[in-house]
């Protein structure tokens, strides 16, 4: 009835709707900055300024669409409008990403509760999904958000932003290393997605540094494994050597899942090597001031990043770290380890059959 309270699934649904807006908005602002410079916002009525305005307009919808996606995942179509409203309320009261998530979860489950337990005359049942449920849930949860939850959530959100902006060298490295390690740990699994959710959430408030740590943390594992295979082919099977040819371009495209065949066959060596390399790269990327305006794109969005050369340097270092650790941990394959379909010749004269 309540969809198992699978909050993670609902959050991921909301994020999946949010990402295209972040990509479009971030790319527009990045392109405008490339052609208009850092002060593009002051160049009124120029093409770069207009593109920047398009990006800013897109970013306004990030939290509302995120909230609508979460509420929709929980309560289906009756949750869309209340979710949008909670997202706009979160924007207005400066509660940001966290406020949008909290409001969406609460209003989504409220809609679901009302849908299951609110009894209305048959004549009004047709109005339930288009008027009754959206109206009641929006008013009830809107009052709670504005009058009760908004201020503490906004204070908490602001505290995170102040802390993020005040971070210096060592603390930046630590945060980037944590994000990177999580991205490299399970290659698209729940730990990876948790780190991604954190980094993407901060993008809503125009904090783009963690996004670069997220991207680099996802690129290092496939690149590092590919380099390890290149340096020590004798330690890998023929199938793995062939797989590495595809793993490298996948890494450049920020598709971490290319490492899964290697991790599945040798998790105790591959996962630590990937996590450590990603941690080093993520820490260096954040410490060196790299920032990505978009959450996806891999090598193709590097030119749009802040400090792109430092990003590439951190990527190279992390790749080498992963490759070195993995190469050292991997044992040399013994001749004959490869699976063979050749049947062993059996001399029937050597068989001894004992009866009784």
Specify which residues 306 forms β-bridges with.
291
Q: Per the domain annotation, does 230 fall within a domain?
A: yes
Q: Per the domain annotation, does 347 fall within a domain?
A: no
Q: How many CA atoms lie within 13 A of 183 on its CB side?
A: 38
**Pick from 194, 191, 190, 249: which is nearest to 222 by CA?**
249
Q: Do 257 and 321 reside in the same domain of the chain?
A: yes
**Pick from 277, 278, 260, 251: which is nearest to 186 by CA?**
260
- Which of 166, 183, 214 finishes a domain? 166
Q: Do 323 and 206 reside in the same domain of the chain?
A: yes
Residue 59 buriedness (CB in 10 A; 0-12 / 13-18 / 19+): buried
Q: Do 162 and 203 reside in the same domain of the chain?
A: no
Give the Cα separation of 128 and 148 in Å (integer).
27
* DSSP 3-state of 284: helix
State which residues form the domain around 90.
Answer: 3-166
Give the Cα separation of 356 and 353 in Å (integer).
10
The H or E element that residue 221 is part of is helix 209-231
The predicted model scores a pTM of 0.76
Q: Do 116 and 188 reside in the same domain of the chain?
A: no
Q: Do 237 and 106 reside in the same domain of the chain?
A: no
> pLDDT tens per residue, the chain (356 residues)?
444 457 888 988 998 898 888 888 888 888 888 888 777 888 888 998 999 899 989 989 989 999 999 999 999 999 999 999 999 999 898 888 889 999 999 999 999 999 988 888 888 788 888 999 999 999 999 999 999 998 899 898 888 778 777 776 678 899 999 999 999 988 777 788 888 888 888 887 788 899 999 999 999 999 999 999 999 988 888 888 888 888 999 899 898 888 888 888 888 999 999 999 999 999 999 999 999 988 888 898 898 899 999 999 999 999 999 999 999 999 887 655 554 443 444 444 444 444 44
Q: Do 179 and 298 reside in the same domain of the chain?
A: yes
* DSSP 3-state of 340: coil
Centre a 10 Å sphere on the Cβ of residue 116 and count the other Cβ atoms it contains: 10
Contacts of 172 (CB under 8 A, 6+ apart): 209, 283, 286, 287
- Please give the tally of structural domains in the chain: 2
Centre a 10 Å sphere on the Cβ of residue 233 and count the other Cβ atoms it contains: 14
Residue 266 buriedness (CB in 10 A; 0-12 / 13-18 / 19+): middle
């Amino acid at each position: 009835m309540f969809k198992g309270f699978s909050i993670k699934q609902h959050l991921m649904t909301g994020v999946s709707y949010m990402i295209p807006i972040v990509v479009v908005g971030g790319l527009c602002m990045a392109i405008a900055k490339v052609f208009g410079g850092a002060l593009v916002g002051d160049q009124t009525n120029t093409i770069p300024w207009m593109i920047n305005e398009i990006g800013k307009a897109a970013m306004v919808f990030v939290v509302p669409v995120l909230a609508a996606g979460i509420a929709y995942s929980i309560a289906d179509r009756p949750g869309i409008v209340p979710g949008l409203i909670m997202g706009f309320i979160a924007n207005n009261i400066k509660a940001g990403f966290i406020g949008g998530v909290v409001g969406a979860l609460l209003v989504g489950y409220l809609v679901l509760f009302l849908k299951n337990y609110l009894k209305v005359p048959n004549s009004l049942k047709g109005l339930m999904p288009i008027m009754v449920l959206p109206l009641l849930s929006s008013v009830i949860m809107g009052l709670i958000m504005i009058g009760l939850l908004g201020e503490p959530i906004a204070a908490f959100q602001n505290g995170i932003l102040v802390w993020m902006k005040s971070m210096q060298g060592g603390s930046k490295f630590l945060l980037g290393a944590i994000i990177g390690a999580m991205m490299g740990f399970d290659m698209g699994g729940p730990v990876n997605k948790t780190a991604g959710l954190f980094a993407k959430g901060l993008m809503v408030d125009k904090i783009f540094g963690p996004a670069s740590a997220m991207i680099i943390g996802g690129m290092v594992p496939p690149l590092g494994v590919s380099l390890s295979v290149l340096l020590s082919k004798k330690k890998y099977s023929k199938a793995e050597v062939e797989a590495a040819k595809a793993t490298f371009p996948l890494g450049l495209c920020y598709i971490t899942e290319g490492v899964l065949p290697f991790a599945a066959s040798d998790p105790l060596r591959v996962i630590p090597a990937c996590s450590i390399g990603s941690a080093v790269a993520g820490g260096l990327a954040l410490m060196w001031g790299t920032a990505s305006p978009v959450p996806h794109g891999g090598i193709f969005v590097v030119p749009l990043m802040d400090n792109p050369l430092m990003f590439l340097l951190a990527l190279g270092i992390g790749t080498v770290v992963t490759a070195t650790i993995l190469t050292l941990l991997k044992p040399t394959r013994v001749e004959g380890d490869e699976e063979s379909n050749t049947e062993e010749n059996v001399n029937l004269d050597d068989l001894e059959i004992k009866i009784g």
